[in-house]
Amino acid sequence: MGHGIVQVVLDTPLDSCFDYLWPAALQAECGAPQPGQVVQVEFGRREIAGLIISSSTHSSYALEKLKPVLAVRAQVPPLGPQWLDMCRFAAAYYQRPLGEVALPALPKNLRAGKALALDKALKKLAKPQANDASPHGAPALNAEQAEASQAILAAQGFAPFLLYGVTGSGKTEVYLQTAAALLARQPEAQVLILVPEINLTPQFEANIRARFPGLALATLHSELAEGERLRNWLAAHLGQARILLGTRMSLLASLPQLALIIIDEEHDPSYKQQEGLRYSARDLAVWRARQLQIPVVLGSATPSLESWQHAQNGRYRLLRLRQRASHAARLPQVGVIDLSRDRAQEGFSGALIAAIRRRLERGEQSLLFLNRRGYAPVLCCEACGWISGCLRCTAHMVLHKPEHRLRCHHCSLELAIPRHCPTCGNIDLQALGRGTQRIEEVLQRIFPEARVLRIDADSTRRKGSAQAAFASVHSGEVDILVGTQMVAKGHDFKRLSLVGILNPDTALFSHDYRASERLFAQLMQVAGRAGRADLGEGSVSEVLLQSRYPQHPLYSALMAHDYEKFAAQLLEERAQACMPPYSYQALLRAEARELQSALDFLQQARSLLPAPGVEILDPIPMTVTRVAHVERAQMLLEAQRRSDLQAFLTPWMTALRGLKSRVKWGLEVDPMDV
Ligand code: ADP
Ligand code: ZN
Ligand code: ZN
C-alpha cells in the first residue's frame, strides 16, 4: 500500500489545495481520511485549519517534502458533499479561492481546534433535542395565506416562490405555519429562515419559541459569542436543529436535512456581503434550493427587481397577500408635504409638527425617519469658507455633538470639535444640515414633555443596547422615536400611528441607478411601521413625507401603495438602458496611493484578454475617491448573457493574478453599488 495522501484546502489567498500526508497514527486512531473532515496542518510556519476534499495514493510532489496532517477533528462528522459543492459553486461564481469560501463559513472555535470548547458544545448537544412542531396560539390563516402555504407545501422538487405581500399582510405567519406543517410531516427535516437585520433575530426568535415551545431552534448571526456560535452551528450540522434562524451568514451553514429555505425581506441589501467574498445570500439560497431540489420562499412587500422580473416571466411562482392580516390593522394614508409651500423650520414643516402633537395628545407614538446619523453632516466657517473635510478621505467629517467629536464615517477618524476656525480663527462655526442627533434635540425643544428616543448605530454601540431600546418602544415608554434605517425594518410597534419621513429627496437624484429602487423599498418599509393595530375611535394612521418634489412619480406610487406600477416603470427603464436585470455586471476595483496607478492598473486589465460578449467600460475614480489616504478607482463589466461574463471572468482572474501588480484589487460579481 502506498502512502495516504490527502488534498486539503486552506484559507489562503492562493487558489490551490495542498497535499499532505495522512500519517499511520491518524489512520490507526481515526481510520481513513474522509472528504469534509476538518484538519489541522502546518502551513508556512503556522498551524492552521484545513478541509479535506479528497484523498489519493499519489502526489505530484516528492513524498519526503510533504508534511503530515497534525490532527483531525474526528468528533465532528465530515461536512457533506452537497455543502462542499455549494462552496465550490460560490468560489467559482464569485471568483474566489475555495478555501476563502469554505473555511470562514466554519465557526472559529472549530477551526481553531479548541478541543475543550468542542467537547463542551457536543456534550450539551448530546442531550435529546425537543422535536415537537405543534404550534401554540397560532391564528387561523386567512384565505390568501392558506393558499400560499399550501402551494409551498405541495411543491415537488426545486420550487422558487415569491411571497409578495404588503407590510403587515402576515408573511411571517405564512413562514411559521408552513415550516410547522412541513416539520410535522417530515420530522427529520430542517428549515432555514434568513432575516436581513441582526436586530430582528431576537424578535423573530421569541416569536418562534413562543409558537413552537417544543421545537429545537438555533440562531446564527455575528453577535453570538464564539461558544454559542459553535454550539448552534453544530446543532445545525448534526441535524438536531429543526429551524435555523439567522442573518446572511447562516446560508453557508451545514444543514444536512435542509428541506425549505425562507428569505424574509428578500430585497434587503444586507443579504449582499460587502467585503471579502462578496456573495448574495439570496442568490445562493436559490442555487442551494435547486441543488437540493427543495422549495425556497422569497418574501417581500417590495421585491427586488430581479425577483419581480422572475415572477413576471414565470421562473418564480408569485404568491400574493393583498391585505393586512389583522382586522385591526389598515394601511396608513400616505401624504406628501410640499416644502415649497410649508417651509420647514429646523427640519420640520408645520403640518408634521401638528401631526406629532395630535399623536402626543392621544398617547400614540410617532416615528421620525432620517437616514443620516450624527448631528450635522458638516461643520463650516461662514467667514472664510472652511469646511470640516476629513484629512484622510475625500469626505466631510460629521459633527457628533453628544460625543463632542468630528467623525469621518468612511475612515473612522475622530477629532475634537474645533473651538474656532482652523484657518481664520472665527469662533462662530456653523453646523450645516441635520442628522438624527439634531432632530432629537429639536424635537425635545419643541415638545419638552415628550419622551424622545433616538435609535441609530451611534446610540446602540453597546451590545444589547439596541434590544433594550426597541423594548422600551414596545412597552410604551417612548412617545417619539427618531431613527435611521435601523428602525425601518420589521418591528411591529403597536402604538405607532405616525411616520414622518424628513428628507428623502437626496436619493432621488443619485447617480446610482439602483437608488430609486432602494429608496422606494425603504420608504414602503418604514411607512409599514404605522397602523399595525387598532388604536380606537378617532385614531388615524398616516405617513407624512416632506419633499420639494411632491409630484415625483416615486412619491405618487408610494401614496397609492402601488409597488407594481412603480416596479413596471423601473423595469421598463432598465430594459431600455440594458441594465440589470436585463444585463449582468461585474466590477473590478483598484486601490493605490496614487489615483493614476489605480487607473493605469484598470486600463491594463481592460486590454489583457479579448472579451467576447462583454463590454468593459472606462475606468473611473470611485465617488468617494480617497479613503484613509488610499485612492480608489473602478471599472464596470457588462454582458447580455451571464454565461459570457462567467466565461470571461475565470481566465481573466488568472491573468490578473499573473500581473503581480502592487495595486490592490478585487472583483465583485453582481455588484450592488456601482
Ligand atoms: P408581515 O410579515 O407581512 O409584515 P406579520 O406576519 O408581521 O406581517 O403580521 C402582521 C400582524 O398580523 C401580526 O401582528 C400578526 O400576528 C397578525 N396576523 C398575521 N396573520 C394573521 C391572521 N391570519 N389572523 C390574524 N392576525 C394575523
Ligand atoms: Zn474661517
Ligand atoms: Zn476619513
The position carrying cell 422600551 is: 472
Kindly give the distance from the C-alpha atom of residue 429 to the centroid of ligand 2, in angstroms, as a whole number: 8
Spatial separation of the C-alpha atoms in residues 150 and 155, rounded to whole Å: 9
Q: Which protein residue's CA is at the shortest distance from atom 9 of ligand 1?
A: 170
pLDDT of residue 272: 96
Kindly give the distance from the C-alpha atom of residue 423 to the centroid of ligand 3, in angstroms, as a whole number: 20
What count of residues does the chain have? 674
Of ligand 1's listed atoms, the one at least distance from the Cα of 172 is 6
Which-ligand-closest: CA of 426? 2
Among residues 528, 544, 139, the alpha carbon closest in space to that of 327 is found at: 139
Distances (CA, A) of 624 to 163, 379, 399, 430, 627: 37, 19, 19, 24, 7
Q: Which protein residue's CA is at the shortest distance from atom 25 of ligand 1?
A: 326
Of ligand 1's listed atoms, the one at least distance from the Cα of 321 is 3
Kindly give the distance from the C-alpha atom of residue 380 to the centroid of ligand 2, in angstroms, as a whole number: 8
Residues with CB under 5 A from ligand 3 (ion): 390, 392-393, 408, 410-411, 413
Kindly give the distance from the C-alpha atom of residue 413 to the centroid of ligand 3, in angstroms, as a whole number: 6
Spatial separation of the C-alpha atoms in residues 145 and 366, rounded to whole Å: 30
pLDDT of residue 1: 43
Kindly give the distance from the C-alpha atom of residue 326 to the centroid of ligand 1, in angstroms, as a whole number: 6
Read off the pLDDT band of 15 (50, 70, 90): low
Distances (CA, A) of 452 to 441, 445, 473: 9, 10, 10
Runs of H (alpha helix) within 188-269: 201-211, 226-237
Asked if residue 520 has pLDDT above 50, the reply is yes
Kindly give the distance from the C-alpha atom of residue 258 to the centroid of ligand 3, in angstroms, as a whole number: 44
Q: Report yes or no: 75 and 52 within 8 Å, Cβ to Cβ.
A: no
Look up the pTM and report it. Answer: 0.94
- Largest Cα separation within the chain, whole Å, is 88
Spatial separation of the C-alpha atoms in residues 78 and 55, rounded to whole Å: 14
Spatial separation of the C-alpha atoms in residues 234 and 250, rounded to whole Å: 12
Q: Report yes or no: 366 and 384 within 8 Å, Cβ to Cβ.
A: no
Distances (CA, A) of 543 to 155, 156, 291, 368: 39, 42, 43, 10
Spatial separation of the C-alpha atoms in residues 99 and 41, rounded to whole Å: 14
> Which of the listed residues 136, 163, 172 should we mutate to test ligand 1's pocket, taking the one with most ligand atoms within 8 A of CB?
172
Kindly give the distance from the C-alpha atom of residue 325 to the centroid of ligand 1, in angstroms, as a whole number: 5
Question: Average model confidence (pLDDT) for the chain?
Answer: 93
* Percent of the chain predicted with pLDDT > 90: 80
C-alpha of 593 from chain center: 30
Among residues 434, 425, 428, the alpha carbon closest in space to that of 398 is found at: 434
3-state secondary structure of 669: strand
Q: Give the pLDDT confidence of 151-200 residue by residue, as tens digits.
A: 999 999 999 999 999 888 999 999 999 999 999 999 999 999 999 977 77
What are the pocket residues of ligand 1 if the criterion is a CB atom closer than 6 Å to any ligand atom? 139-142, 145, 165, 167-173, 325-326, 492
3-state secondary structure of 357: helix
pLDDT of residue 3: 63
* Percent of the chain predicted with pLDDT > 70: 99
pLDDT of residue 353: 98
Of ligand 1's listed atoms, the one at least distance from the Cα of 174 is 6
Which-ligand-closest: CA of 529? 1
> Which of the listed residues 173, 207, 330 should we mutate to test ligand 1's pocket, taking the one with most ligand atoms within 8 A of CB?
173
Lowest mean pLDDT among 61-70, 127-136, 181-190: 127-136
Q: Which protein residue's CA is at the shortest distance from atom 17 of ligand 1?
A: 326
Q: Report yes or no: 90 and 103 within 8 Å, Cβ to Cβ.
A: no
Kindly give the distance from the C-alpha atom of residue 414 to the centroid of ligand 3, in angstroms, as a whole number: 9
Q: Enter the DSSP assignment of 221.
A: -
Kindly give the distance from the C-alpha atom of residue 407 to the centroid of ligand 2, in angstroms, as a whole number: 19
Which-ligand-closest: CA of 398? 3
Q: List CB contacts of 283: < 8 A, sequence separation 6 or more.
A: 670
> Which of the listed residues 195, 326, 494, 535 should we mutate to test ligand 1's pocket, taking the one with most ligand atoms within 8 A of CB?
326
C-alpha cell recorded at residue 595: 489615483
What is the dihedral angle through the alpha carbons of 41, 42, 47, 53, rounded to the nearest 10 degrees? Answer: -30
Q: Which protein residue's CA is at the shortest distance from atom 15 of ligand 1?
A: 170
| Mean per-residue pLDDT, 539-567 | 94
Q: Report yes or no: 490 and 195 within 8 Å, Cβ to Cβ.
A: yes
Which-ligand-closest: CA of 492? 1
Q: Give the pLDDT confidence of 205-235 residue by residue, as tens digits.
A: 988 888 888 889 999 998 899 999 999 999 9
Read off the pLDDT band of 291 (50, 70, 90): very high
Q: List CB contacts of 388: < 8 A, sequence separation 6 or more.
A: 378, 379, 380, 396, 397, 399, 406
C-alpha of 486 from chain center: 12
| Mean per-residue pLDDT, 510-519 | 90
Distances (CA, A) of 643 to 248, 282, 649, 670: 26, 20, 10, 13
Residue 460 is which amino acid? T
| Mean per-residue pLDDT, 597-606 | 97
Q: Report yes or no: 323 and 169 within 8 Å, Cβ to Cβ.
A: yes
Kindly give the distance from the C-alpha atom of residue 420 to the centroid of ligand 2, in angstroms, as a whole number: 8
3-state secondary structure of 35: coil
Kindly give the distance from the C-alpha atom of residue 211 to the centroid of ligand 2, in angstroms, as a whole number: 61
Domains of the chain in start order, with CATH, are 4-78 (3.40.1440.60), 143-321 (3.40.50.300), 333-375+434-572 (3.40.50.300), 584-669 (3.30.70.260)
Q: Give the full edge-to-edge strand order of the sheet including 542-547.
A: 333-338, 542-547, 496-501, 365-369, 480-483, 452-455
Of ligand 1's listed atoms, the one at least distance from the Cα of 141 is 23
Runs of H (alpha helix) within 31-114: 81-93, 98-102, 108-111
Q: Which protein residue's CA is at the shortest distance from atom 11 of ligand 1?
A: 168
Q: Which protein residue's CA is at the shortest distance from atom 26 of ligand 1?
A: 326
C-alpha cell recorded at residue 636: 464596470
Kindly give the distance from the C-alpha atom of residue 173 to the centroid of ligand 1, in angstroms, as a whole number: 6
Among residues 498, 499, 497, the alpha carbon closest in space to that of 535 is found at: 497
| Mean per-residue pLDDT, 41-61 | 91
Which-ligand-closest: CA of 424? 2
Q: Report yes or no: 608 and 652 within 8 Å, Cβ to Cβ.
A: yes
C-alpha cell recorded at residue 161: 416562490
Which-ligand-closest: CA of 176? 1
Which-ligand-closest: CA of 319? 1
Distances (CA, A) of 625 to 598, 621, 673: 11, 6, 14
Helices 281-292/81-93 angle, 10° precision: 140
Helices 143-154/171-185 angle, 10° precision: 40
Asked if residue 2 has pLDDT above 60, the reply is no
C-alpha cell recorded at residue 327: 382586522
Burial class (CB in 10 A: 0-12, 13-18, 19+), 127: exposed
Q: Report yes or no: 635 and 605 within 8 Å, Cβ to Cβ.
A: yes
Read off the pLDDT band of 534 (50, 70, 90): confident
